[in-house]
Amino acid sequence: MSDPSTQLIHHPYTPPAGFEAVQPAVHKASTVIFPSVAALRSRDWKHKTGYTYGLHGTPTTFTLEERIATLEGGRFCTLVPSGLAAVVLVDMAVLKSGDEVLIPDNAYGPNKAFAQAELASWGISHQFYDPMNPADLAARLGPKTRLVWLEAPGSITLEFPDLPALVAVIKVHNQSSGAHPQGTVSALDNTWGAGLAFNAFTLGVDVSVQALTKYPSGGADVLMGSVVTSDEALHHLVHFCHMRVGYGVSGSDAELVLRGLNSIALRYAAQDAATRQLAAWLQTLPQIETVLHPALPDSPGHAVWKRDCSGAACLLSAVFKPEFTQARIDRFCDSLKLFRLGYSWAGPMSLCVPYDLPALRSVTAWPFQGILVRFSVGLEAVADLQADITQALARA
């Protein structure tokens, strides 16, 4: 072994054991090295008892999975490369040809789009339901219903649903003779609550997914998702599907989320307080028809939010008075200097996006005429954000 290229690749040095630091070590691997053929042959990639291949986990990703499971109050976590991949993984793991999935009408748009395109082409049907009306969900549950998506609050419009009531409807259906032979699973998109505003498993949900892209990262610089369960059989359904579809995450990305996670509760509380302050202030402005934010008494679902939640995240939506035409709204958004135009939220920078709401609804009516602008509040000073909105309104 005299050639330097061989010496460098097969270097004999191993650093002393016992190193400890605040942050977990960052392990990066496609190949994981086995000590013997016997070890290679007896590898088990299904139960997280060892290491087999980078796709199936490293000490870094296992560590992050345990911390996210703790954050959510669940027992098992599987990491995936984005929040959307977490939604898709649950769909792929649970649904088979001939099954049906029910999705809230105000759900995260790409969740609906995946059902309308891929799931439909795989022989899996879907219906959208009114999440603010448990009776509407009850009426749509049938022997084909294998999965019900929940989201709290609704994407963009922030109506807060009665999760325990929706879960109770599913549990009653599961006891009936008209239930799916394998039962109906409830899955919550818990990105907004982040495991901090409420405990999904205490409220009776079977699966909780999060875009770690949002609060756990907090940096607007990494994409990742998680699927958490408390039930071991359900976890294996998700986890084995995860092995087969190749949804690995990188050690560097896991490092960023592990770093952000340390301050998640502080960031959540700070952005929550700033958002409530801005929401209350916006509601007093003559240009605004209404402000949608679960902590505001007039916002849909406020009473159940108050009953079930201890926080309200960083999102608010303002519905403008009808005289604010699309052109005026565009000028308002273009005039903002601190609120930048862009998707996602829970990062350091405040963001805004105008939405065409009627186009996003199919089974529920959108009650307002004016255009809606969704604001995501970052970590800037509230007074500066107010001044920014004031100057942009003057230009609109």
* Sites of contact with ligand PLP (CB under 6 A): 82-84, 108, 155, 189, 191, 211, 213-214, 223, 225, 344
CA dist 194 and 309 (Å) reads 12
Burial bucket for residue 263 (CB in 10 Å: 0-12, 13-18, 19+): exposed
- Measured from the CB of residue 223, what is the shortest distance to ligand PLP in angstroms? 5
CA dist 51 and 32 (Å) reads 7
Across 122-133, b (16+ Cβ under 10 Å) vs e yields: eebebbbbbbbb
- Measured from the CB of residue 231, what is the shortest distance to ligand PLP in angstroms? 22
Residue nearest ligand PLP, Cβ-based: 83
Residue 326: which residues within 8 A CB-CB, separation 6 or more? Answer: 371
Which residue, 199 or 344, is less far from ligand PLP as judged by CB?
A: 344
- Measured from the CB of residue 222, what is the shortest distance to ligand PLP in angstroms? 9
Which residue, 82 or 317, is less far from ligand PLP as judged by CB?
A: 82
- Measured from the CB of residue 344, what is the shortest distance to ligand PLP in angstroms? 6
Measured between alpha carbons, how far apart are the two ends of the chain, in Å?
73
Which residue, 234 or 249, is less far from ligand PLP as judged by CB?
A: 249
- Measured from the CB of residue 27, what is the shortest distance to ligand PLP in angstroms? 23
- Measured from the CB of residue 281, what is the shortest distance to ligand PLP in angstroms? 24
CA 129 vs CA 153, 165, 200: distances in Å? 14, 14, 20
Which residue, 209 or 371, is less far from ligand PLP as judged by CB?
A: 209
Q: What ranges in the chain are assigned the alpha helix state H? A: 4-9, 37-41, 59-72, 83-94, 109-114, 120-121, 134-140, 163-175, 232-245, 251-261, 264-283, 302-308, 326-335, 382-395
- Measured from the CB of residue 187, what is the shortest distance to ligand PLP in angstroms? 12
Which residue, 61 or 191, is less far from ligand PLP as judged by CB?
A: 191
CB 128 within 8 A of CB 362: yes
Which residue, 131 or 225, is less far from ligand PLP as judged by CB?
A: 225
Which residue, 87 or 94, is less far from ligand PLP as judged by CB?
A: 87
**∠ CA 83-88-91, rounded to 5°:** 135
